């Protein structure tokens, strides 16, 4: 089994429902955990062709933010999760999106979503 991580990618995004959020972009932190249960701990060869490139997780996040304004963090996290789950070998994905410094008395607020591939075998 292999687990791929992307931790706290810093993005400027148009997200939210408040007036000031509709006018300007704000900092988001995106984290992704992609589980590949059938991937061996040691790749077949020391070559990126034999692993899931973590740069792809970054690219998916950037592309989704660049699609345009979303009202809810849940929407953005869900879109990212669906795309990562569609990658070869990924059986489960967790996506966390944080808005830092929203309230003066906490580090931030956020959402985490988890999606799994539907089981097609009876052994699931």
Is 99 a residue of the active site? yes
Give the residue from 50, 114, 33 showing the smallest Cα distance to 78.
Answer: 114
- Does residue 121 lie within any of the structural domains? no
d(CA 55, CA 98): 20
Residue 124 has pLDDT above 50, yes or no: no
Evaluate whether residue 93 is within a structural domain. Answer: yes
Note whether residue 124 is domain-resident. Answer: no
Task: Find, among 92, 86, 1, the residue nearest to 39 by Cα.
Answer: 1
**What CATH number is associated with residue 19?**
3.30.1130.10
Candidate list 99, 109, 115, 120, residue with the active-site label: 99
In a domain, 91, yes or no: yes
What percent of the chain clears pLDDT 70, i.e. is strictly above it?
95
Q: What local confidence, expressed as pLDDT, does residue 118 receive? A: 80
CB atoms within 10 A of CB 94: 18
| Domain assignment present for 11 | yes
Dump pLDDT digits (tens) for 24-81.
999 999 999 999 999 998 999 999 888 999 999 999 999 999 999 999 999 999 999 9
Number of structural domains (the chain) is 1
Domain annotation covers residue 81? yes
Query: How much is the pLDDT for 60?
Result: 98
Q: For the segment 7-22, what is each residue's pLDDT rounded down to a tens digit?
A: 999 999 999 999 989 9
74, HSE (Cβ side, Cα atoms, 13 Å): 2
- Asked if pLDDT for residue 109 goes beyond 80, the answer is yes
Q: Which domain holds residue 55?
A: 2-116
Indicate whether 122 belongs to any domain: no
Residue 42 tokens read as: 């040691």
Residue 38 lies in a domain: yes
The burial of 34, by beta-carbon neighbours within 10 Å (0-12 exposed, 13-18 middle, 19 or more buried), is given as: buried
What pLDDT score does 120 carry? 53
Query: Which ranges of the chain would DSSP assign to H, the alpha helix?
Result: 19-23, 54-66, 73-85
């Amino acid at each position: 089994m292999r687990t791929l991580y992307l931790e706290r990618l810093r993005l400027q995004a148009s997200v939210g429902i408040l007036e000031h959020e509709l006018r300007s972009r704000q900092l988001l932190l995106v984290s992704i955990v992609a589980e590949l249960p059938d991937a061996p701990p040691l790749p077949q060869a020391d070559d990126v062709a034999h692993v899931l490139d973590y740069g792809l997780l970054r690219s998916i996040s950037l592309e989704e933010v660049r699609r345009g304004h979303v009202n809810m963090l849940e929407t953005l996290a869900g879109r990212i999760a669906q795309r990562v789950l569609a990658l070869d070998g990924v059986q489960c994905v967790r996506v966390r999106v944080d808005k830092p410094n929203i309230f003066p008395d906490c580090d931030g607020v956020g959402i985490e979503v988890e999606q799994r591939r539907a089981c097609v075998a009876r052994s699931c």
